Structure formats: structure tokens, C-alpha cells
Amino acid sequence: MIEVHLWSSLRSLTGGQQVVEVEAATTGELLKELVRLHPGLQAPIDAGVSVAVDGRIIATGLSEPIPEDAEVYLMQRLRGG
């Protein structure tokens, strides 16, 4: 199981949980599982998210591997200039 840390304003969409657990081997699976377990997260994921895996920010890729016991944070999609 991977612990996914959410940013705190998402708690209202997960029944108050800021850390949720999912089974996933890639970033794409992770997002799919998040929505399956917490349908409320569909909206932020549609609006754009990035996934930080062990500190590296995966901006868009859905096929990035997530190692066992990786530290995973869901982040808002980054926008640059």
C-alpha cells in the first residue's frame, strides 16, 4: 500500500483524510485508484495535478513507476512562465 499525502484543502473531498492509502505501481494507476476510492478527487485531478514521488515532481506522466514505500504527495499542477 502507498500512502498518498494530499494538500490540506482536499480533505473536504476525502471525508477529512489528508493521507489516503492506495495500491499502485505507477502514477497513472495511483490517480485511478484515488478516484475509485474517493470519487470526490475526480474534480481536482481533472483540474490538473502533479505527483511527487520521493521528492521528484512528476508533472504529467502517468507511467512513472512508484516504488514500494515511496513517499508520495499529490500536488497542484505546476504552471511556469
User: H or E segment at 22?
Assistant: strand 19-22
Nearest residue (CB) to other proteins, 18 versus 36? 18
C-beta closer to other proteins: residue 32 or 42: 42
Comparing CA positions, the residue from 75, 39, 80, 36 lying closest to residue 57 is 75
58, 51 in Cβ contact below 8 A? yes
Supply the minimum distance, in Å, between the C-beta of residue 1 and other proteins.
Answer: 18
Give me the least distance between CB of 49 and other proteins, in Å please.
Answer: 11
C-alpha cell at 73: 504527495
Binding site for other proteins (CB under 8 A): 5, 7-9, 12-13, 43-44, 46-48, 52, 54-61, 64, 71, 73, 75-76, 78-81
